[in-house]
Structure 1
């Protein structure tokens, strides 16, 4: 390699991208780790995932050549490298996949020439260090490697297996691969790919070129694609190891900096006996930070559960390294220093990432101590090398939140394994119990109707941005999973129209209500939903007439309901911006509901929002509403919208064109107060929202807070209801509303004074007679008092006072406050060898119809529905008399 070749990971990334940009490729920023175009994937696990729909023809882009550095996570589902991370030289949960893509533009010859030139010229890799594999039947690729790269036949290795033939799925685009390998030299053990020693470390794959040239049908037949494409992938970390003369990805500059940072923070040797732990922390720090930055939060299921597994595995290893307090988040600045320039989301969301990490580590530390105690108790009972029972591993998972791999990781230190089959059996049994307790709604069965309908009729045309009323043709009528040719009054139906003003529930906004009508026909629509992606389906009931497919109807949205709903939706946009300005730019939408009667808004926020902050946010939103500025909607590309400052909300899928909603007066930097990508319906001017009022703020889950609010008529109704309650309260207090707070404060103070006086009088009554009010039973002083409605909370202190007065004996105090009986019994120290207060109070409880009691030998308390003090005292006299 030449001395001028790029060496650092950041230089390698930049060189790759700029090389392809010079060669006509669009540099496309990394997509989110949460796939927006493939619901079958947990995380983005390959560089081509963001372009999947482009390759299949479902989506078009304004470019036909692209290059990316794509964030990738493989820590769940089929692509799961979690167990090996930290213990091998190459496994990572997070890595960067460099790639260049051609969408029907160039093909094999250009792809091979681009790769060869970049590697040998720009990266300076000696030609003799490289070799290539091709699919055994792909003679064209072999010839191109000979002609373009000058590789001899012995360095063009034919692979006959599916390892060198790529498929997107059982059907779809597919084609042969060509992999480029780097030869570390004869000093390293291993053979070339396809040889018996191919698992050695001498030859390492650095780049894979996929030639998409066929379409595979279900029977396995392949037909040539009219426009063949290119998809390549180069793991940046593995390539950096080659370029930096390393054999281990953890020795490359970026990961090594994180490993050393962990060692420095905990004052431990990063290359010592706990070397694997440092590496686990370094890798998992990257996965955790990038997932949180892309909107994933730790939770009990789905993506959040995988994130929690990753974080807790890292935290377990931090404890092995000696961490005694939250430490994970303290490594974040080191990561930002290494990767923040290439991935600005790390800097933008640094506060949220750090707070999420810290909160999760605090929670996990509390669970870990109890879980490890159980694990140690169980392993102490096992023989040498004996596996941990699966049901125990499941208990750790179910009770203490220990993922299976965390338990396996802890046992690895002892040379033990887990009975995974037993764990899965216990898990299956739990799922079966949950399934038996669940009652399905039937919605899943209904879905099958709409698959064929989508093929027949295509997407629905939505007219609701411009109108609340339109003519339409009925395309399909269904009930459940049955398609109907006609339906009469009283039947519930699902209706598909060719066009509609009804908004289907999405983006947090509820579906419209309204009516469909024609001559002699009336249908009440009570919900509108999307089916099979972009079909708008109206759910309702036939009120009169007969409905048939092919009929012409008038679709009319319930105006008042739509108006209230869009008012709440527009208020949510203003609320979002006000929260970001008040609390910080880490605030991001995590969920919302915009209904006619209220709005609910969930945000990423690591701590509760103070009343003062809420008041300021509410005032800010109302200020923006009163400005009564026009709400503007523009159609733009997502890139242009974000460049203008629009917020693209996590979890929303955006096409080539998006609706950008702007509202509120802007400032020098932005043209409007709030700018968001949004497909919902909105008011024409902010003043139409009406008064805005925050009702409550609460926690939903770790790092997520929920705000509930009302606006417009709903806010007015709430204000009127509050006024009525205040008037009623003032009337009861016999004062005006204005003077009610002061009058109430006086009454509360008077009540506190009276309560103190009553308590003191009760104490005097209870203790005032002292020994004079007691009786002697076989030489034992017994003081039994019926105290009426004295609070049970006062009985113990009163019993102590009476016991001191009598000096020696048994005290029994009974009350009947709050509609039930209570009894407290005290035994003086000199009589503890003869009487136990717990035994006495249980006998008293039985008389009162209770179920026992408890306490100490000298003081015990019980209760029961029957407060017959005479019967209690009679029972106690009998026990004392013996």
Structure 2
């Protein structure tokens, strides 16, 4: 089987849609300062929010857009979409990821969107149709939302009915956040195993049955009071994680077994001289899982930190900066399990990460020296903090061990 690189995969997707009259529109920065409802860009549609809402300024360049495709930088580490605590434990969650997407702004809708997705998967990427399962919105009586039977009927042109599954609002009614554009969606899932019916495993957190593409039919807006109102026009917003797609195309069972991560793991191993083994992909109770979890946390979190700093989000004690500082400190803490050392080294991963992602996001190459400097400063300071905390803890333990009898607790009367 031929290995496809992340660069080839990204370009293949964008070129497919370019050949179908979609304009390439660059990724926005990881934070949009004008949108106070959003911590980080968590989906490809964020920079197009005003198009959906019909609130574009007269001179906005976005007014000319009808069909668009791109790869958007995303971070999910807070708010409605938060994957931070899952990173490392499994092999398919990330804080930073690239979202491949295509959009229709009051142009085509459900029929064309589904047709394009099907052609892209089965023809452009050669994914086996029998491995695919799709979901559609089953409706929600509490919100007075009807089932999206139109989407089900469209999918019946491509898949047997036992591969088409109704889904709840939690899975099949996509919302940007507590407020903002939203609508029913249809998810495309892929079964890594094959030669079976895996419909009962869809949306069950099975590592071998993954959601890979979400097609959202933007029709409504969630107001601040929780009410749903109609948008001024119907739009299509689709999103697919590059990391998951790449793992499927290369027939590997982990997002981390691709060229987006392997060079980072190799660099980590070269920097940590005491490490007994290279990254092996272990999870759960498997041998070496604790070390491999640390590998994944460091690689994932450092990607998020590098991209965020490149886009001007600097570590701080408030807002977005605090989240990035927290992510970096989680990486430092995990990194100490790998290096068993108080010497900073995570900053040395910046070059590797910038080289991997720089072909898609050139600003990473331009800013990598400054990123290195900032990461080194943060890493050094946090290691000092950890060392001081450890000394205080050890001193307290020593004092307790030297006591001839345990301290007596007394309760004073409050009457």
Shorter-normalised TM range: 0.7 to 0.9
Equivalent residue, structure 1, for 2:125: 123
State the Cα distance separating 1:327 from its structure 2 match: 0.7
Distance 1:171 1:301 in 2: 22
**Corresponding residue for 1:139?**
149
1:33 aligns with 2:38: no
Matches within 5 A, 1:394-473: none
Whether 1:43 and 2:40 are equivalent positions in the alignment is: yes
**Match 1:276 to one of 293, 297, 306:** 293
CA deviation map 1:692-737 (0-9, x unaligned): xxxxxxxxxxxxxxxxxxxxxxxxxxxxxxxxxxxxxxxxxxxxxx
**TM-fit CA distance, 1:166:** 2.3
Q: Normalising to structure 2: TM-score of the pair?
A: 0.83
SS of 2:189's equivalent in the other structure is strand
C-alpha distance in structure 2 between counterparts of 1:240 and 1:328, whole Å: 26
8 Å contact kept, 2:67–2:102: yes
After superposition, give the CA deviation of every residue in 1:727-785 in whole Å (9 maximum; x if it has no partner).
xxxxxxxxxxxxxxxxxxxxxxxxxxxxxxxxxxxxxxxxxxxxxxxxxxxxxxxxxxx
Distance 1:54 1:163, change over 3 A: same
Q: 1:381 to 1:117 in 2, by over 3 A?
A: farther
CA separation in 2, counterparts of 1:142 and 1:153?
9
- Tell me how far 1:184 sits from its aligned partner: 1.7
**Higher strand proportion (structure 1 or 2):** 1
Structure with bigger RCO (C-alpha 8 Å, 6+ apart): 2
TM-score for the superposition, normalised by structure 1:
0.40
| SS of 2:41 mapped into structure 1 | coil
Aligned to 1:599: none
The aligned counterpart of 2:88 is 86
State the alpha-carbon separation in 1 of the partners of residues 178 and 300 from structure 2.
Answer: 33
Match of 1:330 in 2: 348
Q: Does residue 22 of structure 1 match 2:24?
A: no
1:251 is paired with a residue of what secondary structure?
coil
TM-superposed deviation, 1:377: 5.8
Matched, 1:183 2:200: no
Separation in structure 2 between the aligned mates of residue 321 and residue 34 of structure 1, nearest angstrom: 31
Correspondence list, 1:272-311, <5 A: 272=288, 273-311=290-328
Give the corresponding residue for 2:208.
Answer: 202
In 1: Cα distance, 2:399 partner to 2:95 partner: 34
Equivalent of 2:72 in 67, 70, 73: 70
Q: CA deviation at 1:75?
A: 1.8
Cα distance in 2 for partners of 1:77, 1:380 equals 42
Change (3 A) 1:125 1:350: same
- Which runs of at least 4 in structure 1 moved beyond 3 Å after TM superposition? 167-174, 186-195, 214-223, 374-382
1:319 and 2:329 aligned? no
Contact 1:37 1:53 in 2 (8 A): no
- State the aligned residue count: 374
Change (3 A) 1:221 1:257: closer
Query: Is structure 2 residue 109 aligned with structure 1 residue 107?
Result: yes
> Which structure is larger by alpha-carbon Rg, 1 or 2?
1
SS at match of 1:157: strand
Name the CA distance, whole Å, in 1 between partners of 2:129 and 2:173: 25
Structure 1 unaligned blocks of 5 or more: 383-882
Deviation, structure 1 residue 81: 2.2
> Of the candidates 351, 373, 384, which is equivalent to residue 366 of structure 1?
384
CA change 1:371–1:246 in 2 (3 A) is: same
- Following superposition, the deviation at residue 368 of structure 1 comes to 1.5
Write the distance in 2 (CA, Å) between the matches of 1:34 and 1:71.
Answer: 10
- Partner Cα separation in structure 1 for residue 101 and residue 362 of structure 2: 20
* Aligned pairs (5 A) from 1:429-578: none
Measure the CA separation in 2 of the matches of 1:54 and 1:319: 46
Q: Secondary structure at the match of 2:156?
A: helix
Q: CA 1:379–1:88 in 2, change beyond 3 Å: closer, same or farther?
A: farther
Report SS of the residue matched to 2:260.
Answer: helix
Tell me, in whole angstroms, the C-alpha distance in 1 between the residues paired with 2:391 and 2:127.
53
1:357 aligns with 2:406: no
**Hey, what does 2:241 align to over in structure 1?**
235
Let me know the Cα RMSD of the aligned residues: 2.6
User: Structure 1 39/375 Cα, relative in aligned 2: closer, same or farther at 3 Å?
Assistant: farther
Distance 1:155 1:325 in 2: 53
Task: Could you tell me which runs of 5 or more consecutive residues in structure 2 were left unpaired when the two chains were aligned.
Answer: 57-61, 139-146, 281-287, 401-415
